[in-house]
Structure 1
């Protein structure tokens, strides 16, 4: 667009970038096994295999590549997706658990219950997309039943005042690892701690398993794990605050809300909402989410993209449970921090294509292959290149799931009405939607059939709204947080417009104040600007800052406080 001044939110562009990463940051010699560890600051830059590549990654990358290929409607990446499937279908052991191949870079062969929380969603997706997939169905069924057979079931509460039968199922795993040769060995552990929450990330996928396959064992296991987590584990306080891993807690929160929706038990919805709201209180208005809660000093905290995915997924679950206010978080988190955490510049990377790939390392074209990856640790205003997990394989597996959720829900067709839930450029079978954010506050909808058109209203739109039909002013109906244009013919052009100015908002982060420049729903700049890969440089009139390799240093990350002092400029 010739008049475009700022970068737009274009989820398909982000999907194309990450598809390139998913199809290139793999080891062709080992049937496209992913590389988790990317080290762009080394000279030369390299990617390295580690155990997690054939553990959680083959599951999460299967889900990720299926998500972006579905968004793009492309056959590109089909062969790599089949490779991921082949990896998922290998290395299964007793109790239906998935282990991993004995590669040179692996050590004790074990299955982690946390990792099964990544494997089950991949199997769910296989079965959901292809109900005739007997192999995936068998693996999913055996995994659920195997895990159910391994839990401790707390049936009686023996206390000083007597013995009391538990009225609800309460399940917990004896440990966080299960050895391929030896089973539960209580002298070994991952060292992560937090077994209750880490082992429970499978909650959401267990509920999905029940929905897809009517698997009562999956629902039973989900219910028992949820009851343990919310009861005897004592992981959350009465306000649903916690100390520890935000990715696990956020993922569990989305599972709790989904469990509550499926069972009709409002307790699970309320507790899931409470966890979400607590994490939200630690996060920024634009989606910077801390990796840990109350674990590190604020000035050491950073944002893992996995956590943003959890917040978007949980916001979606809460919306489906009737809490429409969470549309704001879904929109702001996706179009700001989620896509800012994607690597789009690599001119600072030193590559050496003369070095052969060997011993689990690859050096070839790392600068090109890393484009589209997602960071495991961003600051408020930058991505630190030398920080461990400056690019993280786990985040590359999670971010596309969030992109797909937002893309799917952005424009919906409900009971004869095209509903624009989130401003985005999108073509569907029913309509073409275009938006001009962050340049101007205009949304345009052109139906492809006779229907009603509804557009969701947000706080950033203000009160001065103008509706037009085929260029002529009109007054649409108001239904809650929607404006509705009635009986729109195919080919008619509906427009909703409002004034849009740049507002600078002071936001306190880890004890420091940042000036965040907003245009409607999009952050276009943050001051002070960061070092290394600067974030939110969305004004196309200003050249991008590209750091030199010599400037790369370690840096930490942030934690957000409340929004204050908005002013216009």
Structure 2
């Protein structure tokens, strides 16, 4: 194996970095309450609390910490994860809804149905981690039943041609917020619009809850929400195109596919696939995904890391539904834009540790604590610090879920066969896997027990494939896209090699033309190059360039603090 001169895809390193962020970008005086808002452009830099910290973040960050701790097999972060658990278990109200504590930086206390889409997945994880957790089960059960009591059930279609009874359940929420003291106040709304899709992100976790507990109410609610979304909401056209929030639509798409797999109803799978394919048509080949569809000109869009997570999660659901072509997207999106969207340097940050923390704001060691965060607004070739949400707490909660999916599915063992689905260095109970991408097209697999070895083949591998077992040439059998090495002995070395050269491809992304330098499945450079945090500086022979504090001139919401941001998230 040649010396590595290009930066490798190493998910455990990304997991380690984000674990540091998740366990340090918290308020120890408030039982490790997360900080959603991080402002590295300010001089000095700061992080500030806002309402969403105790709304969706305590749920999504519980999931995130759990995901990376499992990847890393570490006890580090356990105490912070337990803090998130305690936060989730507080502030429950009528109809089983979760609200939030009344902090100085919050305003009208309300529950958002969109935010319940972050809370229920956390409860699902708690129940999966500890099946005897009665409190988590109670909260999940009451939340599902509370949501079910709050929907409008459309039973009869009344039209000029007469009255027709609906054959299947159709459920929609009357509003997108529920006030803690006043319930549904139809004079109030979140202002986001798109209530049908925003309220429906709970779909995936409803189906997951049914799979875990066989909760029929959860499945019924999922079916009714899906039927409304695909029918009377008129949110999607006949090609499953839409106008609006891609994070919500992508998350709903993965829920639809999962619902279809669970119920055996192909129409849900096809709907989810259609939504995914439409979002994919707006995205780059390497995983830059716009935050909105048809809201701004495409060249004004930015990539919210949440959207990449949704695409990876939905690709995984589609693979499980039998569409194996989506392995390519999962691989390319994960090892390129997903990990590039993680902040790894902070040389440009001005930190003032003499300022005391207080009033919901922290200044301490922001330059160190922000490492490992994920951006809420990347351009194709950079993370621009002059844009608001250069780091976003929501994305920090979502990206680890995608990392975990990719890590778990990269190397799998089923029924006596070891599957190598994604080229990655990984040690499991069944095998040691190493790869040399993007320097050379080489991977080796050393099983720890007698088994078959199946290596997934991709178009970037070309046709000049060379394979060996213990140094002896071997011709694997091909089954679809899998190269099968049969009856490999424990400790034997399976090798697969192919030629790999740098290929420059012109691609239009974000409405603009770029020259993309590919080495197999990895992007190693992009031209034109961006500012401030240049992405894809993956050639280790070339010194990386980063901005100084003087280079960063913030042009966005310079005065945003907890109060203002609470209104915009």
> 1:506: which partner in 2?
506
> 1:45: which partner in 2?
45
Per-residue CA distance 1:516-557 (angstroms, 9 max, x = gap): 00000000000000010000000000111110122224589x
Deviation at 1:4, TM superposition (A): 1.1
> 1:221: which partner in 2?
221
* Equivalent residue runs for 1:93-112 within 5 Å: 93-112=93-112
Per-residue CA distance 1:184-204 (angstroms, 9 max, x = gap): 000000000000000000000
Query: CA contact under 8 A between 1:384 and 1:555: conserved in structure 2?
Result: no
Answer yes or no: is 1:233 the counterpart of 2:246. Answer: no
Query: CA contact under 8 A between 1:476 and 1:485: conserved in structure 2?
Result: yes
* In structure 2, C-alpha distance between the alignment counterparts of 1:229 and 1:387, rounded to whole Å: 33
> 1:400: which partner in 2?
400
Per-residue CA distance 1:227-261 (angstroms, 9 max, x = gap): 00000000000000000000000000000000000
> 2:129: which partner in 1?
129
* SS state at 1:377 partner: coil
* In structure 2, C-alpha distance between the alignment counterparts of 1:500 and 1:367, rounded to whole Å: 38
Query: CA contact under 8 A between 2:290 and 2:510: conserved in structure 1?
Result: no
> 2:444: which partner in 1?
444
* SS state at 2:91 partner: coil
> 1:520: which partner in 2?
520
> 2:465: which partner in 1?
465
Answer yes or no: is 1:17 the counterpart of 2:17. Answer: yes
Per-residue CA distance 1:153-179 (angstroms, 9 max, x = gap): 000011011111011100000000000
Answer yes or no: is 1:274 the counterpart of 2:309. Answer: no
* SS state at 1:178 partner: strand
Query: CA contact under 8 A between 2:48 and 2:360: conserved in structure 1?
Result: yes
> 2:189: which partner in 1?
189
* SS state at 1:455 partner: strand
Per-residue CA distance 1:5-40 (angstroms, 9 max, x = gap): 000000000000000000000000000000000000
Query: CA contact under 8 A between 2:430 and 2:447: conserved in structure 1?
Result: yes
* In structure 1, C-alpha distance between the alignment counterparts of 2:278 and 2:232, rounded to whole Å: 20
* Equivalent residue runs for 1:162-201 within 5 Å: 162-201=162-201
Q: Structure 2: where are the runs of 5+ without partners?
A: 557-569
Answer yes or no: is 1:83 the counterpart of 2:83. Answer: yes
* Equivalent residue runs for 1:232-271 within 5 Å: 232-271=232-271
* Equivalent residue runs for 1:309-388 within 5 Å: 309-388=309-388
Per-residue CA distance 1:471-520 (angstroms, 9 max, x = gap): 12111111110001111111110000000000000001233210000000
> 2:298: which partner in 1?
298
* SS state at 2:268 partner: helix
* In structure 1, C-alpha distance between the alignment counterparts of 2:342 and 2:288, rounded to whole Å: 13
Query: CA contact under 8 A between 1:124 and 1:205: conserved in structure 2?
Result: yes
Query: CA contact under 8 A between 1:384 and 1:554: conserved in structure 2?
Result: no
* In structure 1, C-alpha distance between the alignment counterparts of 2:213 and 2:63, rounded to whole Å: 18
* In structure 2, C-alpha distance between the alignment counterparts of 1:315 and 1:443, rounded to whole Å: 24
* In structure 1, C-alpha distance between the alignment counterparts of 2:474 and 2:256, rounded to whole Å: 43
Q: CA RMSD in A?
A: 1.0
Query: CA contact under 8 A between 1:18 and 1:373: conserved in structure 2?
Result: yes
* In structure 1, C-alpha distance between the alignment counterparts of 2:180 and 2:2, rounded to whole Å: 60
Query: CA contact under 8 A between 1:285 and 1:332: conserved in structure 2?
Result: yes
* In structure 2, C-alpha distance between the alignment counterparts of 1:456 and 1:2, rounded to whole Å: 22
> 1:120: which partner in 2?
120
> 1:562: which partner in 2?
none
* In structure 2, C-alpha distance between the alignment counterparts of 1:375 and 1:149, rounded to whole Å: 37
Answer yes or no: is 1:70 the counterpart of 2:70. Answer: yes
* SS state at 1:368 partner: helix
> 1:492: which partner in 2?
492
* SS state at 1:20 partner: helix
Query: CA contact under 8 A between 2:283 and 2:510: conserved in structure 1?
Result: no
Change (3 A) 1:383 1:529: same
Q: Structure 1: where are the runs of 5+ without partners?
A: 557-569
Deviation at 1:388, TM superposition (A): 1.3
Per-residue CA distance 1:426-456 (angstroms, 9 max, x = gap): 0111100001000000110001011111100
Change (3 A) 1:510 1:16: closer
* SS state at 2:524 partner: strand
* SS state at 2:42 partner: coil
* In structure 2, C-alpha distance between the alignment counterparts of 1:224 and 1:153, rounded to whole Å: 8
* SS state at 1:202 partner: helix
Per-residue CA distance 1:242-292 (angstroms, 9 max, x = gap): 000000000000000000000000000000000000000000000000000
> 2:559: which partner in 1?
none
Change (3 A) 1:547 1:268: same
* In structure 2, C-alpha distance between the alignment counterparts of 1:312 and 1:79, rounded to whole Å: 29
* In structure 2, C-alpha distance between the alignment counterparts of 1:231 and 1:214, rounded to whole Å: 26
Per-residue CA distance 1:56-113 (angstroms, 9 max, x = gap): 0000000000000000000000000000000000000000000000000000000000
* In structure 1, C-alpha distance between the alignment counterparts of 2:387 and 2:190, rounded to whole Å: 22
* In structure 2, C-alpha distance between the alignment counterparts of 1:194 and 1:476, rounded to whole Å: 51
* SS state at 1:199 partner: helix
Answer yes or no: is 1:146 the counterpart of 2:146. Answer: yes
Query: CA contact under 8 A between 2:2 and 2:440: conserved in structure 1?
Result: no
Deviation at 1:354, TM superposition (A): 0.2
For these two proteins, the number of residue pairs brought into alignment is: 556
Deviation at 1:387, TM superposition (A): 1.3
* In structure 1, C-alpha distance between the alignment counterparts of 2:111 and 2:125, rounded to whole Å: 21
Answer yes or no: is 1:33 the counterpart of 2:33. Answer: yes
* SS state at 1:201 partner: helix
* In structure 2, C-alpha distance between the alignment counterparts of 1:462 and 1:405, rounded to whole Å: 27
* In structure 1, C-alpha distance between the alignment counterparts of 2:329 and 2:269, rounded to whole Å: 18
* In structure 2, C-alpha distance between the alignment counterparts of 1:366 and 1:382, rounded to whole Å: 21
Query: CA contact under 8 A between 1:457 and 1:481: conserved in structure 2?
Result: yes
* In structure 2, C-alpha distance between the alignment counterparts of 1:145 and 1:500, rounded to whole Å: 55
* In structure 1, C-alpha distance between the alignment counterparts of 2:33 and 2:2, rounded to whole Å: 42
* SS state at 1:200 partner: helix
Change (3 A) 1:555 1:411: farther
